[in-house]
């Protein structure tokens, strides 16, 4: 018995050596790495996480706001570009940002007058968008530093972000433990998992505010992108972008994206809703039919015809906010000195409907103690036509 130990150790060493060799032959390297990205004004370090898959797709995200700062994917000829808007450095994100790439919470989109009632109590939230509360308030989840940890799992390589929002933060009740995980798979999907628990009943509606330009960051406006949404209805809004409560049909309106349609095709029409939104800035009601809330459902497909890049979005959420970059006005100098002119990026924010805490007929956004908030969205990157065609 005695003599077998060295033999076992030797075999183990040989096996490990063989594996190491195999890895280096395949160019294996850890595919989730982190490094400092910058310093907050109070001296805290913000880390940058890099996720890389076997096809060379690279996604970078930082601990400030869980912001996705870049996504590099190939076009139909295999040429890689960064397809999201943002800044080169932390200072840009801290100084001023229209939520580039960020996690949005506690509540994505607007709550009318920054007020809601729940179980007999009325809560007052920060009003940071005219008379309304937007994207979690003055200092939402996009403006806090998250704890982070990278991992390599069966599904792919990822990073998990954690943030504890104290009771009363921005006016919301309850201590909210939030967790958002980004997993990059080897079939070029980014899986975004949202999880939260609370010790008091509170509204929660987490989303992701990446601005895409599938032709490449800073390359022009997004009006030629062809968009398809699995939504035969949407929620019209008033002049302050609060839903009127109506679930309106898109048929015969510029909101009909049930078949692939260029974003620019109807954006200039004289339509009251387009006037209110200064373009598209609306929640679309997904045609989920009987599919259960925990099922992934294909909400959107976007094709950029020149590069052939395709983005498909799957979600467990009942709605998706389509925002056509209407507030971009050329005043922001972003990555690589790119100026972000009108409509140089678009957002597709999977979510529950805006102002749900004040709209009893909308699906509920209330999370209660003992329950788990679970939401998943998948961005599938691909190309259409050409050598890598799908």
Residues that bind ligand GLA (CB under 6 A): 98-99, 109, 134, 241, 281, 321, 323, 327, 347
DSSP 173-203: -S-EEEEEEEEE-TTSEEEEEEEEEESS-EE
Look at residues 347, 373, 179 and name the one whose alpha carbon lies nearest to residue 294: 373
Half-sphere exposure in the Cβ direction for 334 (13 Å, CA): 27
Q: Which residues sit opposite 87 in a β-bridge? A: none
Q: Smallest distance from the beta carbon of 385 to ligand GLA, in angstroms?
A: 30
Q: Smallest distance from the beta carbon of 255 to ligand GLA, in angstroms?
A: 15
- Whose Cβ is closer to ligand GLA: residue 133's or residue 288's? 133
CB 176 within 8 A of CB 106: yes
Look at residues 137, 74, 73 and name the one whose alpha carbon lies nearest to residue 105: 137
Instruction: Take residue 14 and report the two structure tokens written for it.
Output: 């040989």
Instruction: Take residue 205 and report the two structure tokens written for it.
Output: 């509606």
- Whose Cβ is closer to ligand GLA: residue 150's or residue 210's? 210
- Whose Cβ is closer to ligand GLA: residue 150's or residue 321's? 321
Of the residues 282, 338, 349, 352, which is catalytic? Answer: 349
- Whose Cβ is closer to ligand GLA: residue 189's or residue 343's? 343
Q: Residue 136: helix, strand or coil by DSSP?
A: coil
Q: Smallest distance from the beta carbon of 104 to ligand GLA, in angstroms?
A: 8
Q: Smallest distance from the beta carbon of 47 to ligand GLA, in angstroms?
A: 25
CB 80 within 8 A of CB 56: yes
Terminal Cα-to-Cα distance of the chain (whole angstroms): 59
Look at residues 30, 24, 356 and name the one whose alpha carbon lies nearest to residue 204: 356
Instruction: Take residue 128 and report the two structure tokens written for it.
Output: 């940071």
Instruction: Take residue 341 and report the two structure tokens written for it.
Output: 């002119």
- Whose Cβ is closer to ligand GLA: residue 140's or residue 254's? 140
Residue nearest to ligand GLA (CB): 323
Clarify whether 317 is annotated catalytic: no
CA 390 to CA 137: how far, in whole Å? 41
Q: Smallest distance from the beta carbon of 327 to ligand GLA, in angstroms?
A: 5
Q: Smallest distance from the beta carbon of 99 to ligand GLA, in angstroms?
A: 5
Clarify whether 209 is annotated catalytic: yes
Of the residues 72, 209, 225, 233, which is catalytic? Answer: 209
**Pairing, β 80-82 against β 366-367:** unpaired
- Whose Cβ is closer to ligand GLA: residue 87's or residue 323's? 323
Catalytic residues: 209, 349
């Amino acid at each position: 018995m005695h003599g077998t130990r060295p033999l076992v150790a030797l075999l183990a060493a040989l096996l490990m050596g063989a594996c190491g060799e195999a890895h280096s032959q395949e160019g294996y390297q850890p595919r989730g790495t982190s490094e400092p990205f910058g310093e907050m004004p109070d001296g805290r370090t913000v880390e940058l996480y890099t996720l890389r898959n076997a096809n060379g797709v690279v996604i970078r995200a930082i601990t400030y706001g869980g912001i996705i700062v870049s996504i590099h994917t190939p076009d139909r000829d295999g040429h890689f570009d960064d397809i999201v808007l943002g800044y080169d450095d932390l200072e840009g994100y801290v100084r001023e940002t229209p939520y580039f790439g960020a996690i949005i919470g506690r509540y994505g989109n607007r709550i009318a007058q920054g007020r809601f009632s729940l179980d007999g109590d009325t809560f007052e939230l920060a009003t940071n968008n005219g008379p309304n509360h937007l994207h979690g308030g003055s200092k939402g989840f996009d403006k806090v530093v998250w704890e982070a940890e990278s991992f390599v799992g069966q599904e792919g390589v990822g990073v998990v972000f954690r943030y504890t929002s104290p009771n009363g933060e921005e006016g919301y009740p309850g201590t909210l433990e939030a967790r958002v995980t980004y997993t990059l798979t080897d079939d070029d999907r980014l899986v975004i998992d949202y999880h939260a628990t609370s010790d008091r009943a509170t509204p929660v509606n987490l989303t992701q505010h990446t601005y895409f330009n599938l032709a490449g960051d800073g390359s022009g406006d997004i009006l030629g992108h062809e968009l398809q949404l699995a939504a035969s209805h949407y929620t019209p809004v008033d002049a302050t972008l609060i839903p009127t409560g109506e679930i309106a049909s898109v048929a015969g309106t510029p909101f009909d994206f049930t078949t692939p349609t260029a974003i620019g095709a109807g954006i200039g029409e004289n339509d009251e809703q387009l006037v209110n939104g200064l373009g598209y800035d609306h929640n679309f009601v997904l045609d989920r039919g009987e599919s259960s809330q925990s099922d992934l459902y294909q909400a959107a497909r976007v094709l950029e015809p020149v590069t052939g890049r395709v983005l498909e979005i799957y979600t467990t959420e009942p709605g998706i906010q389509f925002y056509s970059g209407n507030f971009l006005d050329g005043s922001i100098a972003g990555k690589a000195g790119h100026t972000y002119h009108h409509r140089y990026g678009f957002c597709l924010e999977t979510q529950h409907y805006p102002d749900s805490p004040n709209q009893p007929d909308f699906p509920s956004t209330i999370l209660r103690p003992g329950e788990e908030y679970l939401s998943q969205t998948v961005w599938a990157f691909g190309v259409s036509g050409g050598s890598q065609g799908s």
